[in-house]
Structure formats: C-alpha cells, structure tokens
Amino acid sequence: MELRRADELKVHMVNGEEVRELIGNVHFIQLSDRGDSVYVWTDRAMRYMTRDLIELFGSVRIVRGEATLRSSVGVYSAREKRAEMPQGVRIDRKGVTLTAQKGTYWVDDERAYVQGDVVLVDSTSRTTADVMTYFEREERAVAVGRVRVLSLDDNVTILGDSLIHYRTKGRTYVPAHPTLIQIDSASARGGDTLVVVSDRMEAHRDTADLFIAEGNVRIVRGDLASRCERSSLDRTNDLLTLQGDPVVWEGENQMTGDSIVAFLRGGELQRLDVIGRAMAVSRSDSALQNRFNQMTGREIVLSFSGRKLREIEVLRNATSLYYLYEDSAPNGVNRSSGDRIRMDFVDGRLDRITVLGGVEGTYAPESMVLGRENEFNLDGFRWIENRPTRALYTTALRSYD
C-alpha cells in the first residue's frame, strides 16, 4: 500500500505496533498488474504497519476499476484487499447505485455484502431489502429479507422473502412467497390493482415482458380472479395463461378447464378461452343456493365489451343446463346439447340461447327439480368457494411496510 499524499504525518506505538496517523488530503494507492489497482482518499487515516490495515475517517472514497465506494468511516485491509464500511456505504458502478447502513467489499472477488436499509437502483428498477450480496462481474444481486422490487417504467412491484436479480439478462427470480402488484392509475374506474401471489416467481424483462408464477397461484384484478398451479403474464402481447387445474371467476361466473387463456387490451379483459374439459358455472338465484346454470364442452369462449359479458360460445360436445323462472318464481330446468351453443347477453344479462347442430333438449318441471337440484348437475360440475380477493394486496403490503 503506497502513500501518495498527506498534509501531516504522526507516528505512534500501540501495543508494540507502529501506527502512522495521516491527516488532511490523504491518498493511498495499491497497485496491481491485473488492472484492479485500488485508490483510496480520505480526510484522516490510521495506518497499522504490521497488519497493513488502514482505518479511514471523513469523506472516505475507494475506487477499484469502475466501482466507487463512499462512506464517512471505513477500514481497508491491504493484505486481504477488503474494505469495510460500518457506518453507511454507497457503491456506484456503471449505472448502478447500492446503498446500505453498512457493508463489506472484496476487491479481488468484485463482490459487495451490505446490510440494513439496502437500496439498489439501476436504470429500470429500484430494489430494497434487509441484506444483499452484489456480484459485479455478473451484475447479479442476491437479496434477503423484506425484498421489494419496483419497476420504474410500469409501476410493477414484486415482493418476496428473497430474490436473485440478473441486471444484464433482465431476469429476476423470487424463490419464496412472492407477490406481484401493479396499480393501474390510468384506469377509467380509478385504478384496478393487479395482484399475483404464488410460491415462486420469475420476471423476464429483456426481449420480452413476461412474468411466470408457479405453485398455488392466486390472481386478482377488478372483477377477475383466478387460481392455478402455473400462470404466465405476457405483457408484450397482453396474454394471461393459466395451467394446472385453473379456475377463473369473472363477476358471477366461474370457469374451469385444462387451461385458460385471457386476452387483454390495456389490462382490460377482452376474451377468455377455456380449453379442454371446459365448464362455465354461475349461480342461478341467490335465494336458491343449490341452483347453478352450467355449460360444458371441449372449449368455451367468453367475449366481453366495456367490462361486461357480451357472448358465450360453447364448442364441440356442447351442453347447457339452465334454470327457468316465470314472474321470478322457479319453473324447472332446461338441458340442451348440440355441436355448438351460443349465449348472447345484453348489459351483462342473458338475452338469447342458440343451439346449433345435432340439437337435443329436455325439460324437467319444477315438481321434479325442487330438492333434487344436485341430480341435474352436468358431469364435472363443481362450485369452488375460495375465490381470491384484494385482501391478498393489503396482506402483502402490511408485512413489508
């Protein structure tokens, strides 16, 4: 470690070790043939000659390559090429700024370990955590404890217990208890909050804009809610894909199938495709809890306009079960089947049912239906009560604020 400058030098002996006190415009250099020389500036320094250790005080600045460390107090070990900042640290490198209450930096490894109110900011995101390790060469951050990532361009926030972020690859992995939140303040309804909760999550923000959630996935946005084992939100093409026993609730309608794809436009639902063992269910009358209107087929397509259901089309092996009413009094149930069934809605209410190709139909009067509703349910019928709600949002934020 070579001293290049100091305004004043004092020499002390402490426990048999020579200690040089340097005061005013102190500047050290640790040269290296590998191109990773270390440059140190400070207002005052205590250099322990036997241990080759330097305590730094006031306007501490350490530069190695493209990385600059700043603090008010620091310790630099020339033997281990390690800097410790116990009272606040800031690290700047190639458009990345990392701050924390304290930290350690290893020169040879180009690695920083920081703790307490950690904040990592780059051109696209802001990450906060309790603890973080940052690897310069890979531009990789590993964060632990109350992790929060805010995407600066679209107001998407990801929360989690821990996180791995690759800056140059545009990839973020949240391996435990992630929550994704996006508040659409431009919505005509005053803001619909998108909430995605799962066991683990990935964000791909390089060439695509893709979020993947796996394990006990729950999604809520406005009147739309869903559960599944795996989902992917393609924000480039406005597609939400659900797989693994998916269930979708839209208003009073419940859809199940092998897979479900939601087509969005500006975050607003345009079409919902239910594929494979598709079934749509809605409660017929709130006063008659066991009566459900049902549709089933190989595929069901629901179309929306202005946030209201406009049309339902059931394709291939289409079957519908619809409860009838006369002057609001129950009047039996009608079952129809055909190659295709189409239901048209006006202002969100059923207006017309059309059955096409190989039409068959049966009607059961009220005297046969009352008290025996379960016997008329279509194959595969199930009504699922545990619909996700916006409480996911408030619960997640409460644990991080």
Q: Are 299 and 332 in contact (CB under 8 A)?
A: no
CATH topology of domain 192-197+208-401: lipopolysaccharide transport protein A fold (2.60.450)
* pLDDT score, position 190: 40
Whose structure tokens read 């269930």?
247
CB 3 within 8 A of CB 18: no
Segment 80-127, tens digit of pLDDT: 999 999 999 999 998 899 999 999 999 989 999 999 999 999 888 899
Which phi and psi angles does 89 have, rounded to 5°? -145, 145
Kindly report, residue by residue over 36-58, the tens digit of the pLDDT. 789 999 999 999 999 999 999 99
Say how far apart CA 243 and CA 297 lie, in whole Å: 18
Q: Which helix (H) or strand (E) holds 159?
A: strand 156-166
Report domain extents, the chain.
Answer: 192-197+208-401
pLDDT of residue 401: 61
Compute the CA torsion angle 285, 291, 296, 301 (nearest 10 deg). 10
Give the pLDDT confidence score for residue 346 in this predicted structure.
Answer: 87
Taking 70 as the pLDDT cut, the residues of the chain under it are 35, 184-191, 207-208, 267, 396-401
Q: Report pTM.
A: 0.83
Spatial separation of the C-alpha atoms in residues 312 and 282, rounded to whole Å = 13
pLDDT the model gives residue 15: 87
